[in-house]
Amino acid sequence: MSRSYAPTALMLGNFVTGTSVLAPAGMLGELSADLGVTIRDAGLLITFGAVVLCIGSPLTAWLTSRIERRTLLGATLAVLALSNLASALAPSYAALLIIRLIMLSIGSLYTPQAAGTAALVVPPDKRGGTMAYVFLGWSLAVAFGLPLVTFIASRYGWRAAFGGVALIGAASFVLLAWRLPGGLTGAPVNLKTWTAVARNRLILMLLLVTAVQTSGQFAVFTYFGPLLARLTAASADAIGLVFAIYGVCGFVGNMVASRIVDIWGAYRTSLLFIAVLLTGASVWTLGAGSFAVMAFGVGIWGLGFASTNSMQQVRLVGADPTLASATVSLNTSVLYIGQAVGSAIGGALFASGWLRETGYVSMAFIALALGIAVFATRGGTR
């Protein structure tokens, strides 16, 4: 089977994964009202899910490292589709939380394994751009998945939104089973692999950058909708538009990163987009209260969010290609740690009424990540 469309199949699987993980952020108000819980409690669907994801990603990488990739990734997408359907039928908040935790414990393996699989279907000199392209699925999840979730939930309810994600997941499963070649296997992950990772200072510093910058982003991102509603009286459609701006700009930023990384090098490209993240967060924070300014800040922010994560993966692979299966999965796990930490901090600030202060916390985390990237990872990868 031709491998020419395999990266696209992998990318669309990331779209389903990203939309499944982030879907509650697009309908916090509907979940809160219908299930009789607070906005913060509804946000815990993302926080607790991220905790499961951060544990599950390295664990599943170890348990599934010897499984053929088309079988493994196809089964994961099938579970995501069925779990979203089950979420649509959940009778209570507790049931919905349990369903999502089960779903994400399995879904945690898709993104790192998709990145590793992408490296198997292209020549070595194309891996950087291809891995960035595969991660575009997360940008699309924010650009189109979350606005679609917000649109459906605001008009037809959150159950219909989960049902829509289930249908998209089923379609992605079919496409991946059709276009991804069979017989692909990665290097087995064992205890020696994790020991080698723990001894590599550059890898550890790169993982720290991922954790810190993601924490900063999710302190705000998880509560984008409620924050805009409280600070600017934005409607559901306006909030959906902001999600779309964020995602479209993320798509553009990642496309730019995938084009320049093989020329500029992953280090300089990474610094550029972390700086873009910080700029966007600063505009959001300083413009709090003005919908137009905050939306503009979200656009700048969006240019950096997916491209930064893509460059982290590229740099980790470049730091030691023999450890790629472990480090990419561990990076995804650390990313989810950042989601859990950030969304928990954001939830606490939101519940305390410190809405504007959330932006300053976000800025501080991202600035720290930039400092670590500049001074602690320089020279390790080009």
- Average pLDDT (194-200) is 85
* The CATH fold of domain 6-376: Growth Hormone; Chain: A; (1.20.1250)
- pLDDT, mean of residues 197-219: 93
Most confident of 152-156, 178-182, 257-261: 152-156
**Mean per-residue pLDDT for 345-367?**
95
- For residue 382, the 8-state DSSP code is -
What 3-state class would DSSP assign to 89?
coil
The answer for residues whose C-beta is within 8 angstroms of residue 287's C-beta and 6 or more apart is 293, 294, 296, 297
Q: What is the pLDDT of residues 312-343, one digit of tens each?
A: 878 887 888 778 767 877 887 888 889 889 99
DSSP 199: T
Q: CB neighbours of 265 closer than 8 A, spacing ≥ 6?
A: 381, 382
- The answer to whether 132 and 258 have CB atoms below 8 angstroms apart is yes
Burial of 353 (0-12, 13-18, 19+ CB in 10 A): exposed
Q: What is the phi/psi pair of residue 36, to 5°? A: 70, 35
DSSP 140-181: HIIIIIHHHHHHHHHHH-HHHHHHHHHHHHHHHHHHHHHHSP
Local confidence band at 6 (pLDDT 50, 70, 90 cut-offs)? confident
Residue 357 burial (CB < 10 Å; 0-12/13-18/19+)? middle
CA distance linking residue 215 with residue 212, whole number of Å: 5
- C-alpha to C-alpha distances, 264 to 21, 53, 267, 377, nearest whole angstrom: 32, 32, 8, 16
Sign of CA dihedral 312, 314, 317, 318: negative
Distance (Å, rounded) from C-alpha 70 to C-alpha 75?
Answer: 8
**For residue 322, how many other CB atoms are within 10 A of its CB?**
10
Per-residue pLDDT tens digits for 232-244: 999 988 998 998 8
Question: Over 80: is that where the pLDDT of 170 sits?
Answer: yes
Residue 380, pLDDT > 60, answer no
- What sign results for the dihedral spanned by CA atoms 60, 66, 69, 74? negative
* Under 8 Å between Cβ of 297 and 287: yes
Is 306's pLDDT higher than 90? no
In angstroms, the CA 135 to CA 112 distance is 10
Burial of 205 (0-12, 13-18, 19+ CB in 10 A): middle
Is residue 135 within 8 A of residue 313, CB to CB? The reply is yes
Per-residue DSSP letter, 23: G
Length of the chain: 382
Amino acid found at 41: D
| Residue 187 clears pLDDT 70, i.e. is over it | no
For the chain, which residues make up each domain, given as ranges? 6-376
Query: Which has more pLDDT, 20 or 65?
Result: 20
Nearest to 273 by CA among 284, 257, 287: 257
Single-letter amino acid, residue 73 = L
Residue 5 neighbours by CB distance under 10 Å: 14
Largest CA distance in the chain: 56
